[in-house]
């Protein structure tokens, strides 16, 4: 009977460790996703704030056909 108790204790400790690790990884992933979403939400504001870029093609040359 003691052997079963030791096995169950080790199993419970391993499960607790895996759950704690999973929670830590999930929180890290949530933080990363929230930072990415904040950066994506900020990107259009920066795009409109910058001056418009000119095209690489010169306006005086006619277009090739």
Instruction: Please tell me the distance from the alpha carbon of residue 24 to that of residue 42, in angstroms, as a whole number.
Output: 27
* pLDDT value at residue 27: 95
Per-block mean pLDDT, blocks of 10 residues, the chain (65 long): 91 94 94 93 68 57 59
Instruction: Please tell me the distance from the alpha carbon of residue 23 to that of residue 16, in angstroms, as a whole number.
Output: 11
| Domain range annotation of the chain | 1-45
pTM over 0.85, yes/no? no
Q: Which H/E stretch holds residue 2?
A: helix 2-49
* pLDDT value at residue 47: 57
* pLDDT value at residue 15: 94
């Amino acid at each position: 009977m003691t052997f079963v108790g030791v096995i169950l204790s080790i199993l419970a400790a391993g499960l607790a460790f895996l759950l704690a690790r999973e929670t830590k990884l999930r929180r890290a992933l949530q933080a990363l996703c929230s930072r990415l979403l904040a950066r994506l939400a900020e990107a259009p504001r920066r795009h409109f704030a910058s001056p418009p870029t000119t095209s690489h093609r010169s306006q005086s040359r006619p277009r090739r056909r």
